Amino acid sequence: MPSDYKFDAGNWSVTVGGQPIQWTQIEITLEQFHTPAQFAISAPLQTVNVPKLLTDTPSEVVISYAQKEWFVGQLDDSNASGEDGFDDLHLRGRDLSARFALRKVEAHLPNNITASELVKTYCQEAEFSDLSKITATQHQIGVPTKDNSHLISRGMSRHDILFDLAESESFAFRVYRRQPFFGLQPEPGAKKSMPLVYHQHFNRYAWSKSHTNSDVSIRVISWDAKAKARIAHTAGSGSLVITKNIPGIKLDKAKAIAEKLARDAGRSLLRLSISDIPGDAALDDILWAFEVSGIAPGIDQTYWPERIHHVITQDSHVMDVELYNAKRILQ
């Protein structure tokens, strides 16, 4: 394994079945001497290169560094759903216990699709019609966003953010990659710097059915000034969340907002859950979680605040540190 993690992605090459491929992001997790080591290879984020890797027969994959073979293995797509927009493709090598996650995009999308085109495509598929506020600004993890916030946590590569589009007080759209290969732990200061409030794993664009692999999440966050509440809608997932720390919002008002959002999406409100987040003074807000029928068929799962607020989980089911900052961003 290369000792220098700050390498140039150009030093690396990957072939699948003897054919060279390009990538948007490659993340490899290694276990050597029972000690996990992780690094990421990131190509420029201006375009999304779409290698067509899923084949009927296993393909030999060779990863080379500085023109020297570093990893040889077989493509294992048994954990890939084959039906979502993003799949996780795993490699298992002869000499190393390694997982190799490579992002691919649906076949109907063109090779070299731009960030804004990708987001607009998903907005349209997720029945979000207001595309006028989407702009093609981009940030990587570790680079301040417009509100001077960061997404930083141990176990999430600092290259996890692929696109950070149209971040403003009225609209934000994020596409970002997660890698639950390790239990997530907050970086020093993460409690004050995590800008997002909610994550729903069951995203039809992002989900590997084994519940243990990386995923890509698409999230739209909008601001309802009249309700004075932050409303987060995870596109395509079937969940609506209203988080607030401003006194005076009534339950019937919150339910009315949820019902309107559901109607706008052609859905009906299936369930309303309400609970306090316990155990942390910074998380004394109330979360209203809404399951919307018809968006995520066959999935009957409400992310209770107690569940979300546990950052480290044994089953890699919830890998979140985003609620740490729920209160600050709403003030």
Name the DSSP letter for residue 192: H
**Nearest-angstrom CA–CA distance, 191 and 282:** 9
**Nearest-angstrom CA–CA distance, 325 and 285:** 11
pTM: 0.23
**Nearest-angstrom CA–CA distance, 52 and 50:** 6
Query: CB burial class (10 A; 0-12, 13-18, 19+) of residue 78?
Result: exposed
pLDDT by 10s per residue, the chain, length 331: 333 333 344 555 666 667 665 543 343 333 332 222 333 333 322 222 333 333 344 556 666 655 655 555 554 443 333 332 233 333 333 322 223 322 222 333 344 444 444 444 444 433 333 333 333 222 222 233 333 233 222 222 222 222 222 222 222 222 333 322 222 233 333 322 222 222 232 222 222 222 222 222 222 223 233 322 333 333 333 334 444 333 344 445 555 555 554 555 444 444 443 333 332 222 222 233 333 322 222 222 333 222 222 222 222 222 222 222 222 222 2
Give me the pLDDT at residue 196, please.
26
**Nearest-angstrom CA–CA distance, 181 and 274:** 31
Query: Are 275 and 285 within 8 A, CB to CB?
Result: no
**DSSP class per residue in 84-105:** SSS---EEEESSSEEEEEE---
Q: Which two tokens stand for residue 302?
A: 């409400």
Give me the pLDDT at residue 192, please.
25
Query: Are 141 and 158 within 8 A, CB to CB?
Result: yes
Give me the pLDDT at residue 60, please.
62
* CA-based nearest residue to 102, from 228, 15, 197: 15
3-state secondary structure of 189: coil
